[in-house]
Structure 1
Amino acid sequence: MILEQAIDECREIKEAIDDAEPPERVQAEIGDLLHTAISLCIFSGLDVETTLSKTNEKFEKRMRAIKMLTKKHNLPNLQGQSVELMLTLWKEAKEITKNVKP
């Protein structure tokens, strides 16, 4: 049930983006997805604060790796880069940081 709700929220985000809705609408839809993710944590018996903290640590670790990869690929910064390049860098960073402690 909660996973289906998350899928529905993702669809609503995609629709808002595809329809070029104002950023506030997209933000509201993303907020709904975050609320659903919190519900999923609770339903799964996980501590929401711990889950969020671990997620932030993982994100920060990957962002440090992305910045390192940006320098390695001689890119001035991440601004204005294509979505494809950003996804490639994210996947590379994910591999690099897989077994690295924070």
Structure 2
Amino acid sequence: MSGIDAGELDTLWAEFRGVVNMTSHELSAWLRTAGGDPGRTHGRGVLAILRKRRIDLTAEDVRLMREVLATVRSATATGGAGAGVGERRYRLMSLGHDPLR
């Protein structure tokens, strides 16, 4: 199991599923086209999480979920004009978040 209490896990799961707004199919297709993007490693982890049931999450999954939430929130908070365009968008999409949605 993940090492956190059920209530905290429920909250984390809901927040993660809200921020990761690409389906597992969309993310998988994106990761195949993303080339050597360093975000692909985390993206593959996000993809694995999307394919799991909440009860099957590991401590490593929980750590990655928290990291993805922090990264996406930070990037969207500092986005500014044209925030959904170019390299920034592609980096976020490698984590399963399309800022244009």
The structure showing larger relative contact order (alpha-carbon pairs under 8 Å, at least 6 residues apart) is 2
TM-score w.r.t. the length of structure 1 is: 0.28
Answer 1 or 2: which has greater helix percent.
1
